[in-house]
Amino acid sequence: MELLILDQIVPKLTPFVSVFIPELPSYGVSTPTNGTLTKRLMGHAILSALQTVFSLTPSQRTKIILVGHDRGARISHRLAIDFAHPDPSTSHVLSHFDLQGLILMDILPLTVQWTAMATDPSAAAAYFHWTFLARPDMAIPMIKAYGGDSFCREMLGKGTGNNEAGRASFFAGNSVEIYARNFGTDHAIRGACEDYADGARTEVQLEKEDRAAGRKIVVPTLVLWSEGGIGRWGDVGNIWRDWIEQGIRVDGSGIGDRVGHWVAEEAPDIVTKEVTGFLESLGVKMG
């Protein structure tokens, strides 16, 4: 989690709600998982950690709202589908929680993103890391040779927009160097590659199966995105409406003014306002 989010966004939420900010399994300093990473595996591990951190008893059903950006948003999407359409073989941990809402930041559904990359050469070039990282056999040795920390700095920098205040905000607090240092470890490089490989095989196939079976998100959802990034494909909120059950509330807001992919870091005031308003719409008293 970026230091900026901890400094500028979370303090405005914690007087009113409990906030759990996990590191994604196998990223950063977390203990690497054994075997292939999947969004479901990471999501269920995070919920198990939430139970431990807050000392929740098995008999409790705790109300939660999932908030995620990029990789975290993809995990949140998978969890939202699992909550709505539980599989008895994998849903034990879900039974302890009552999902109230979902906030997705700067992502499209995987199948939509892959289709866009297949039909738009500029999109394929901009998101080259999707196919690169999805080949761990090639990407891992190449990233190690280049230096995981150097690769991380380059990728984070290229994701920012052209708003100077936003860029300054993103690079504040030395957070990029913390990310870079963590990504210098072998297990973080492998974890990221396995995560992207899952997005090219298991998770994208699950999305296709969800569509065929009519499995959709069934909780109120807020979608935030960079208008200069994935906003090139239109109203991202409208795109997501097709993935959410009819009649369920969907709020969507594109963030312009040349803000890049890191919307929470580059535009923390806007994101805080949107998140606070959404929480209030769910009945959370925010002051």
Segment 46-55, tens digit of pLDDT: 999 999 999 9
Q: Is the pTM of this model over 0.85?
A: yes
Mean pLDDT, rounded, for 89-94: 77
Question: Is residue 60 domain-resident?
Answer: yes
CA distances from 47 to 216, 231, 233, 251, 254 (A): 20, 31, 33, 25, 29
CA dihedral 163, 164, 169, 170 (to 10 degrees): 70
Rounded distance between C-alpha atoms, residue 62 and residue 192, angstroms? 30
High-pLDDT (> 90) share of the chain, %? 78
| pLDDT over threshold 90, residue 218 | yes
For residue 90, the model assigns a pLDDT of 67
CA distances from 10 to 66, 101, 156, 259 (A): 14, 18, 22, 20
Kindly tell me if the per-residue pLDDT of 1 is higher than 50.
Answer: no
Residue 286 lies in a domain: no
Question: What does the DSSP 8-state code read for residue 8?
Answer: I
Q: What is the pLDDT of residue 29?
A: 79
Burial of 29 (0-12, 13-18, 19+ CB in 10 A): exposed
Contact between residue 251 and residue 286 where contact means Cβ atoms under 8 Å apart: no
Burial 77-96 (b: 16+ CB within 10 A, else e): bbbbbbbbeeeeeeeebbeb
Name the band, by pLDDT with cuts 50, 70 and 90, for residue 3. very low
Cα–Cα distance, 171 to 168 (Å, whole number): 5
In a domain, 287, yes or no: no
Beta strand spans in 108-169 (E): none
Residues 6 or more apart whose CB falls under 8 angstroms from that of 268 comprise 4, 5, 8, 9, 169
pLDDT in tens, 139-185: 999 999 999 999 999 999 999 999 999 999 999 888 899 889 989 99
- What pLDDT sits at residue 5? 55
Number of domains in the chain: 1
CATH number, domain of 277, equals 3.40.50.1820
pLDDT tens digits, one per residue of 39-75: 998 999 899 999 999 998 877 789 999 999 999 999 9
Range of the domain at 248: 3-281
